[in-house]
Structure 1
Amino acid sequence: MITGSLVLIVLTGLLLGLTAGFVMHRSDYCVAGMFRDAFLFGRYGGLRILFLQVVVTMLLFELARQAGLLPLYPFPILAPPALVNLLGGMVFGLGMVLAGGCVFGTLYKMGAGSVVSAVAFLGLILGSGLYALIHPWWKELARATILAPERITLPQLLNLDPLLPLLFFWLPALFLLWRWGRQGLLRRPVSVAGYLQPWQAATILAVIGLASYLLVGMPMGVTTSFTKLAAMGAAVVAPEWVAGQSFFQAVSLDVLHPASGARLTGGPGPRPDLLFAIQLPLAVGVVLGSTLSAVMLREFAVYLRVPLRQLLSALAGGILMGLAARMVPACNVWHLMGGLPIMVMQSILFLLGIFPGTWLGVKLFRLLVR
């Protein structure tokens, strides 16, 4: 029986996704492009916008925490840092360049009619499911490379109240953003109808991230739902194989929410659960929000004549992103928009890994695709 609270969670995720997809399409907001352009063209405007989003999200999360609105802080799915987080970030950075978009970038571009992004999305699902093959030994590797047991955030490692290291970061960050703003480095010189400046999109996405944390109890994330879709598909054709994989039997979320008293449970297996109800509507909403924006601007178009090597690159990139999202675990949305703003150490390692991964992705893309 579907409860009213579950319906509310689904509708909330859908609404947040619709808004995010609409905003990202209107601003051409894609994390993959931000990192790729830095290495490919020496353009750092996108990374400045990402920096802005992280700083604004930091401020919003800390205000909510100080007000007592974040009882689950940090969120239980987050884990202590390990060297595998760095390696997973490298694989993810490589994958998103080959795919032509990050996870949300793939979704909103697919919503606007991109066949390349649709192929990358298929790769994301395949990679998420294929991770089950390496999960047993990867799990042991993660345990062997833990850097700070029982410490999730940098403030926890330093045994400090989160406000102190955040203030230490905010002061120079705000000065830097003020200076960039005075120099016009946070704006793009365009005057296209319906265009949303990236700094405006970053601010709106930060608010959406906070809304997700407040309303559904966790930051934005979608890739566990992709894993569940892969498991559901595999269960149709190979149910015994799915039943024999320890990864699909795992429970990654099982916690009692202090504020509501609700029990939050979920995992990567082929069973509808709370994680599925939270994440899938968000992903669907991003696609539909982008479609709505593209239709309103009369930009929705499906181009089928795409070079085969570009499609193969997108498929490979999607598979790598799907694998990496389980290796880290979680994708750029979760870590850069949810973990990094509260100084989660595995998110910091993930970010550090993205840079060499993106550099390698640019090299391979030039060699194999263009």
Structure 2
Amino acid sequence: MTTPATTAPVPAQRRQWLRRTSVPTAPPPAPAEPPQPVVLVVGGVLAVGLALWVWLGQGPRELALFALGLALGVGLFHSRFGFTSAWRQLVAVGQGRALRAHALLLGAASILFTPILAAGAGFGGVHATASVAPFGLSVAIGAFLFGIGMQLGGACASGTLFAVGSGQSAIVLTLLGFVAGGTTAAATSGFWTSLPSLGNLSLNTGLGYGGGLAVTLLVLALIVAGTYWVERRRTPPPVASVPAARGFARIVRGSWPLWVGALVLAGLNALVLLTSGSAWGITSAFALWGSKIWGALGGDPSGWAFWSGPSAATLHGSVLANTTSLTDIGIMVGALVASAAAGAFTLHRRIPLRLATGAVLGGVVMGYGSRMAYGCNIGAYLDGIASGSLHGWLWAVTALMGTWVGLKLRPLFGLTNPKPTDSVC
């Protein structure tokens, strides 16, 4: 006669640890929707038409930048690489998966930027410059405002562009607010540029390029470890899946893993730096667009201090001659094509008033804050840290503080926050 096997009792302390660290798995992703041929054709014609216009009117370098914008839009859409939701998930429910993707993006960009900046040269003899800005009160206040704004507006700067391209109508209101806020900041630049600062502080200046890179990677590793520590204490909900195609079709029709998106965006950013001499930026174009609109309405933005000196040529030149405008337009068109191929292009015809109000207000706050902080989640956070500039780290800390405030304000505009029982994207 055999004795049935018995299971040893699990100690209470061990059971408690398992409850804290066990994360339920999300259901498998649903199949991707069929492509939308009409929207895909419209997006393709728009991409080709704009490419020819840029090539004939500006030249091959500008064409390359527009093409890089298209690629950035495709990468942002397929990986759903967001900054707004990443910080919301971390603060609200302790989910650190997306923030770990940020760390991979920042680390990869830092590794790619370092030899380029050390050499100081890009393609065709272009002079490559680091994204360094003053470490001071303006950055701290601007990033804090940006953190609030992106929770109310529903997207960050890069997220706004690819969401607009993929048909999210409410985010169009965020973009309009972004332009208005950035233009207002340009008109009042004398205020925020006079705030106290310690000047430009760079790890590369004090430690050399190799030492600066080593410190950056060490800090990013500590951040990754910190996200796991937070998850152990808070037991975040599972990560929700998004529709995905299978096999090779996933490249053009499905969702990409976050780590793939991080590496693709880092590589494309390095190519922008090599092509234009400056890293990928977004929000300075919004101030340019708004200033041109103000000028067309009879205003005189050329009298603003923001557009004095070398910046005057940018104001009076073509939008398609502006590096940031080219990549911004490319991102929207690239996301349009990618979303149509994935069957995910959707126009929302009815937008609740509270949601619309939050979108516009969030955009205005982000637009103003991004100018104060010398950049957004891309121009200050990503490019600053990848360039070794300490203002990028200051931006990250104060924007995270603003995120906490933004979460408190979201319910006022009919927006919900993640709960421990919800799946998060």
Q: What is the TM-score with the length of structure 2 in the denominator?
A: 0.73
1:196 maps to 256
| Residue 227 of structure 1 pairs with residue 272 of structure 2 | no
Find the residue that maps to 2:59 and give its secondary structure.
Answer: helix
* 1:287 pairs with 2:332: yes
Q: Deviations over 1:155-197 (max 9, x none)?
A: 32xx32121132244357569879999x9x9x96847211100
The DSSP-based 3-state class of the residue aligned with 1:162 is helix
CA offsets, 1:202-232, max 9 Å, x none? 0000000110111111100122221111111
1:217 aligns with 2:269: no
Does the 8 Å contact 1:52/1:177 carry over to 2?
no
Query: Which of 383, 386, 401 matches 1:341?
Result: 386
Moved more, 103-112 or 340-349: 340-349
Deviations along 1:118-177, one digit per CA (max 9) or x if unpaired, are 110111111111113432222222xxx121x4x431232xx3212113224435756987
Residue 133 and residue 342 in structure 1: after superposition, are their counterparts in 2 closer, same or farther (change >3 A)?
A: closer
**TM-aligned CA deviation for residue 276 of structure 1:** 4.7
Structure 1 residue 333 displacement after superposition: 1.0
Residue of structure 1 equivalent to 2:10: none
Seen in structure 2, the aligned counterparts of structure 1 residues 266 and 236 have a Cα distance that, compared at 3 Å, is closer
**Matches of 1:72 and 1:10, distance apart in 2:** 16
Aligned to 1:164: 211
Shift of 1:8: 1.8
Query: SS at the partner of 2:274?
Result: helix
Q: Which residue identity does 1:359 align to in structure 2?
A: W
Q: Percent identity?
A: 24
Q: Where does residue 255 of structure 1 map in the other structure? A: none
Larger mean Cα displacement after TM superposition, 334-343 or 17-26 = 334-343
| Rounded Cα–Cα distance in structure 2 between residues aligned with 1:35 and 1:176 | 13
The question of 1:84 aligning with 2:138 is answered yes
In structure 2, the partner of 1:262 is none
Structure 1 residues 275 and 57: alpha-carbon distance in aligned structure 2, compared to 1, 3 A threshold = farther
Contact 1:209–1:219 at 8 Å: present in 2 too? Answer: yes
Structure 2 spans left out of the alignment, 5+ residues: 1-53, 246-253, 416-425
Q: How many residues align?
A: 343
Task: Tell whether 2:255 aligns with 1:208.
Answer: no
Q: Deviation of residue 59 (structure 1)?
A: 1.0
Conserved? CA contact 2:145–2:365, under 8 Å? yes
Radius of gyration: which is bigger? 2
* Alignment-mate amino acid for residue 409 of structure 2: L
Once the two structures are superposed, residues 260-281 of structure 1 have per-residue CA deviations (whole angstroms, 9 ceiling, x without a partner) of xxxxx854x3x22699521111
1:317-344 CA-partner distances (Å, limit 9, x unpaired): 1111111111111221112221111221
1:136 equivalent in structure 2: 190
Match of 1:248 in 2: 307
Partner of 1:257: none
- Structure-1 separation of matches of 2:219 and 2:389: 20
Which runs of 5 or more residues in structure 1 are unaligned?
253-264
> For 1:90 and 1:251, how far apart are their aligned partners in 2?
29
Going from structure 1 to structure 2, the CA distance change for 1:3 and 1:160 (only over 3 Å counts) comes to same
CA contact (8 A) 1:266 1:275 kept: no
The Cα shift of 1:73 comes to 5.8
Kindly indicate whether the alpha-carbon contact (under 8 Å) linking 1:222 and 1:283 is maintained by their aligned counterparts in 2.
Answer: yes
Q: Secondary structure at the match of 1:203?
A: helix
* Structure 2 contact 152–358 (Cα < 8 Å) conserved: yes
Distance (Å, rounded) in 2 between the aligned partners of 1:305 and 1:274:
32
**Aligned-CA RMSD value:** 3.0
Answer with 338-347 or 52-61: which moved more.
Answer: 338-347
- Does the CA-based 8 Å contact 1:231-1:248 persist in structure 2? no
Tell me the equivalent position of 1:272: 317
Q: Distance in 2 between matches of 1:41 and 1:281?
A: 37
